[in-house]
Structure 1
Amino acid sequence: MGMNYKDSGVDIEKGDLFVERISKMVKSTYNQQVVSGVGGFCALYALDEDRYLASSTDGVGTKIKLAIDLGVNDTIGIDLVAMCVNDLICSGARPLFFLDYFASSKLELDVSESVLKGIVDGCLQSSMALIGGETAEMPGMYQVGDYDLAGFSVGEVSKKDLIDGKKLVAGDALIGIASSGFHSNGFSLVRKILDVKSCDLDLKRACLTPTTIYVKTVLSLLKTHRDSVKGLANITGSGFLNIPRINDTFDYHVTAAPALPNFMKEVCDLSGLDTAELHRTFNMGVGMVVATDKPELIIAELERLGEKAFLLGHVTNGSGKIFLDKTEL
């Protein structure tokens, strides 16, 4: 057996336990306008009788460390925006604006400008305004040359257009939309594999391929086929375990294995992990999942929009479990 995510220093189960432990404290702050908060892909806040504000926050994780080590800082900002807005659009919301937080030991103007270039690029891809942010110098908190990022996105969706998984029924299909690579998850493990296996520079650079931003694709799909889209899942941290977040009163069966980008396949092969562990850690070539009762129609429309799309699996009655063939993840 190869290394796993926990061996690289990331304990997903402890992270889930933390969310469970703080949930009660967080919910003590809620008022009657809060529709959903901790646990969803994004939070929903009732703006008025007809509209919700949707919000999400995230970072890039240790993919930043690989970017710093390779001196490639102009795309990590795309990842930052993507990690936020790909969650936001799972509700059907249209992104409105973005804010960023950039922290480092000491401000290095060329590096900071390169990072901001990526953030601006991501916002342009999302048709979203970058309306503010914060830059912090924190000597003693970070090593010289290191930096960290966080992002905050806000959007809006009308109540009648909300995608919440409640229309899902057994027998619905799962459609996968291809990822560009690892996106921005699992990089503590990716970096360990790259280091332990002494991988070449080209492979390391390929792993920095920016996260695909699905905003224009999803909003275009919803504009023409909203009634056929019953749920959306961003395949982010914890891999395929994100799919039941569509509606945890059903089970989800993944029966297809999409082709991986060559660099992603190479790293996965080097990891020595079994198939189940890979799918609990990485997106395995699937960036977004669409639940629908009209799979052929949705696949055709996604391909027309320029995405690689494929039948990934199906929905059955259940209790929020995910199965890879017949194995529960």
Structure 2
Amino acid sequence: MSNPYKDAGVNVESGYKISKFVKNNISSNSDNIGNFGGMYEIPEGYKQPVLISSNDGVGTKLLLTLENNKLDTIGIDCVAMCVNDILAQGAKPLYFLDYISTGKVDGKVEQILKGVIEGCHQAGADLIGGETAEMPDVYSEISYDIAGFSVGIAEKSQVLQASNVKTGDSLIGIASSGLHSNGYSLVRKIFFKDNNFKMDSQLPELTHGNLGDYLLEPTRIYSDEILPLLEKNLVHGISHITGGGFFENVPRMFTDKIAAQIDVQNWKMPEIFDALQKYGNLSKADMYHIFNMGLGLVLAVSPDVEQEVLSILNGKTKQAYSIGKIIERTDEPVELLGVE
């Protein structure tokens, strides 16, 4: 029997296999997979529940997964970029849906989905659906793109608003796992176009692996760190440091009448940023305008609870640092001490 759709380059049977793979690899809500829409029952116990949503992708970082033939962690990045934004508004992640498009649905999609499933596990979110699109002529057989959509929940009175952050609040930074998923167009230009490095290059600045190991380190997911603080109402504001670095993202958590004063000497910066600055001939100001510089989240808390928050965050390992305070604004919204 002829199959005209398959003759055009689309094999719907591959999509059925992907749905079966996901069902067999998640522990809850598997009945949703393969339906026309994902279903989720709003948890009880909220007086005025507010749903907070986020969608995002991973940018050109995905190109490096093809070069290094490592596809099983990029899904973690996709989940992280969505749920960390939700956490930054004081919400608990509930569920996630993915969208993967490619020229040919084959084994690479299962590898990508392994990362999505792991990311949902780390986030404490259910994977309730998604879409895998086979689009020949739009993509080559090996290329792909991935995006995600996530929803979280918060009590309306506890949503983190810009007005919550006040002059005198202390700023706490929580360590990133490296570059996360931002700035990769510049990263690729610096390392691969301007300096002709390879993914397996061993750089003297990078002491724990080759260049590819650092560039494909998955974005950190902060559910385990942030949710206990939210439950105790210990946080006034959270900034997720993504594209645009400190100067774009930190002011998003407070009003335009105040500013953040941050001492950049107060935390340990991962080696990858030293390498980028050196080989890219970038100024310190450029670095803080583009990258997270070793901090994935910046929290604003009352000085009365600063030590309590640090104690909670640093219970198992040193990952959080006192980095500054909120001051009255006289000039720019972010003042970085030690950066010209």
TM class, shorter-length: 0.7 to 0.9
User: Could you tell me which residue of structure 2 aligns to residue 95 of structure 1?
Assistant: 93
Partner in structure 2 of residue 279 of structure 1:
288
TM-score with structure 1 length normalisation? 0.80
* Pairing of 1:145-224 with structure 2 (within 5 A): 145-195=142-192, 196-200=194-198, 201=200, 202-224=210-232
Aligned to 1:64: 62
Match of 2:252 in 1: 245
Q: Please state how far the C-alpha of 1:198 moved relative to its aligned partner.
A: 2.5
Matching of residues 107-126 of structure 1 within 5 Å: 107=105, 109-126=106-123
Deviation at 1:263, TM superposition (A): 3.0
CA contact (8 A) 2:264 2:338 kept: no
CA RMSD of aligned residues (A): 1.8
Does the 8 Å CA contact 1:256/1:311 hold for their aligned counterparts? no
Task: Check the 8 A contact 1:236/1:287 in 2, yes or no.
Answer: yes
Q: Pick one of 68, 71, 76 that aligns with 1:73.
A: 71
Read off the aligned partner of 2:254 and give its amino acid letter: N
- Give the aligned residue type for 2:314: E
Q: Which amino acid aligns with 1:280?
A: H
Shift of 1:230: 0.6
1:297 aligns with 2:308: yes
Q: Which residue of 2 aligns with 1:229?
A: 235
SS at match of 2:178: coil
Change (3 A) 1:309 1:77: same
The CA deviation at 1:204 is 2.2
- Partners in 1 of 2:167 and 2:177 — Cα distance? 30
Contact kept? 1:58, 1:84, Cα under 8 Å = yes
Letter in 2 for 1:146: S
Q: Distance in 2 between matches of 1:320 and 1:264?
A: 24
Bigger CA radius of gyration: 2
For the 8 Å contact 2:164–2:254, the answer to whether it is kept is no
Shift in Å at residue 142 of structure 1? 1.9
SS in 2 for 1:166: helix
Residues 124-163 of structure 1, C-alpha deviation per residue, up to 9 Å, x if partnerless?
0111110000111112212331100110000110112222
Paired with 2:127 and 2:316, the residues of 1 have a C-alpha distance of 25
How far did 1:262 drift?
2.1
In structure 1, stretches of 5+ residues that fail to align are 1-47
Q: 2:321 aligns with which of 299, 310, 314?
A: 310
Would the aligned equivalents of 1:194 and 1:204 in 2 still touch at CA under 8 Å?
A: no
What is the SS of the residue equivalent to 1:243? Answer: helix
Amino acid paired to 2:65: A
* Letter of the structure 2 residue corresponding to residue 254 of structure 1: I
Distance 2:79 2:332 in 1: 28
Aligned residues: 278
Structure 2 spans left out of the alignment, 5+ residues: 1-45, 201-209
Please report how far the alpha carbon of residue 293 of structure 1 lies from its aligned counterpart in structure 2 after TM superposition: 1.6
- 2:333 alignment partner in structure 1: 321
Shift of 1:307: 5.3
Q: Do 1:81 and 1:151's aligned partners in 2 also have CA atoms closer than 8 Å? A: yes
Q: Secondary structure at the match of 1:91?
A: coil
Q: Is the 8 A contact 2:52 2:91 kept in 1?
A: yes
Which of 103, 109, 113 is the matching residue for 1:105?
Answer: 103
Give the partner amino acid of 2:311.
A
